[in-house]
Amino acid sequence: MVTKELFGYMPDGQEVYCYTLQHHAGGIRVKVCEFGGTLMGIEAPDRNGCFTNVVCGYDCLADLMNADGYVGALVGRYANRIGGARFMLDGNEYQLYPNDNGKNTLHGGRVGYSHKLWASSYSDTTQPSVYFSMISPDMEEGFPGELTITVTYRVTEDDTLAIDYKAMTNKATVISMTNHAYFNLSGFASGKVFDQVLQMDADRYLKTDDDLIPTGEIASVDGTPFDFREAKPIGQDFFAEDHDLKIAGGYDHCWCFENYDGKIKRVATAYDPKTGRAMDVRTDLPCVQFYSGNFLTDDGHPFFGGYRKATQNAFCLETQIMPDSPNHPEFTNCVLRPGDLYNTTTEFKFYVK
C-alpha cells in the first residue's frame, strides 16, 4: 500500500508531497518526502509488537529545508568529503564549492541533492515503491557531466526497506550517493545510543586528518576501538584514548568491508537489547561511514514533536564508495563514464530478537 499526502509548499509555491509505504498489515511503515528524497520515518515493531519511528525527522517542511545534518536525505553527487574542494579527472581539474570548513566539499556542495525537490511517482503492486528522479546539470556545484538519476524506495514482504540508485552521465564524472538516515532503534526520542549493539564485517578503516579528510592510509581495525567484527555496544570504546576518535568527537569514519566482491550481502547488524529491534544492513557497496551523531546539536529545528537534538542520540550507517576517492587513485573507483550505469542497492531489514 502507498498513500500520498501534502507536506508543505516551497518558497515559490510548489507543492511538496510525502508518501507512506507498507507491504502488509503488521509490517514496517516507511515515509519518504520529495524534498531531498528524504527518508522521514520507519515505524518498526518491538518485541511486544509496539510500533515506534526509529529514524529522526521533522514535522514541517521549513525545518527539513533549514536544519543541519542532512537528516534522512539522499546525498550527492558525491557523498562524504572531497579534500580541497577539487579533483582531477582525465587531465582536467574541477573546482567544487568548499562548504566544509571553508576548504573541503561535503555531501555535494553548497546545494546538494539533499536540498533539491525531486520529481516523484509511485507503484503499488507486488512491492510498494516510490521513485524519485532528477537531472543534475553539467557543472552543477562544479561536477562535470549531466547526470540523470532515479532513486527507488521499496518495501518488501520481509520488512526490508530497499533503496536502489541508478544514474547515467553524458560526460565522465565522479559519483557516490547514499542515504543519510539517523537511526535510534529504541525510537528517535530515546536518548543516547551507547547501549545499542553494532557489528560490522569490516577489517579496515580510513585514517583521516584533523578535517576528517582521508590521509590515504587504510588501517587495520585490530586492537583499536574501530573493531566491530564482533558485536559490541556503540559506547563500549567510545571514550577510548585514541587520536582518530578524538579528532572526530567519536565515530565518523569509513569502514571497508571484508571480501568485497560487488554482490549484495549482509555487512552490518545493529541491535537494541532494550526493545529487541534489530536491523541488518545489506549492500553491494564496498564501504560504510559509521557516524555516531557527534555534531547532532540543537540548531533550532527539533525533531518530531519538538524533541531537541543532542549528540550521540542517533547513528548513521551510510553505505558508499570511499570518501575523497577522486583524489586517491588507489581508493575505490568512483568514475562514471558515458554509456555506463551507476547501479547500486542498499537494504535495511528489520526484525525482532
Amino acid at 351: Y
Best CA proximity match to 184, nearest among 270, 119, 259: 270
Best CA proximity match to 288, nearest among 351, 185, 202, 214: 202
Query: Rounded to whole angstroms, how far apart are CA atoms 28 and 157?
Result: 9
H/E run at residue 348? strand 342-352
Write down the number of H helices and E strands in the chain.
2, 27
Cβ atoms of residues 21 and 107 within 8 Å: no
318 carries an active-site annotation:
yes
Cβ atoms of residues 179 and 318 within 8 Å: yes
- What are the φ and ψ backbone dihedral angles of 262, each rounded to 5 degrees? 80, 5
Amino acid at 73: A
H/E run at residue 61? helix 61-66
Query: Rounded to whole angstroms, how far apart are CA atoms 207 and 257?
Result: 15
Residue with grid cell 575523497, as numbered in its chain: 324
CA atoms within 13 A on the CB side of 156: 13
Bridge partner residues of 155 (DSSP): 161
Catalytic residue among 253, 318, 328, 347: 318
**DSSP 8-state code for residue 66:** H
**Residues 6 or more apart whose Cβ sits within 8 Å of residue 239:** none
Query: Rounded to whole angstroms, how far apart are CA atoms 101 and 85?
Result: 10
180 carries an active-site annotation:
yes
Catalytic residue among 180, 253, 301, 328: 180
Annotated catalytic residues are: 180, 318
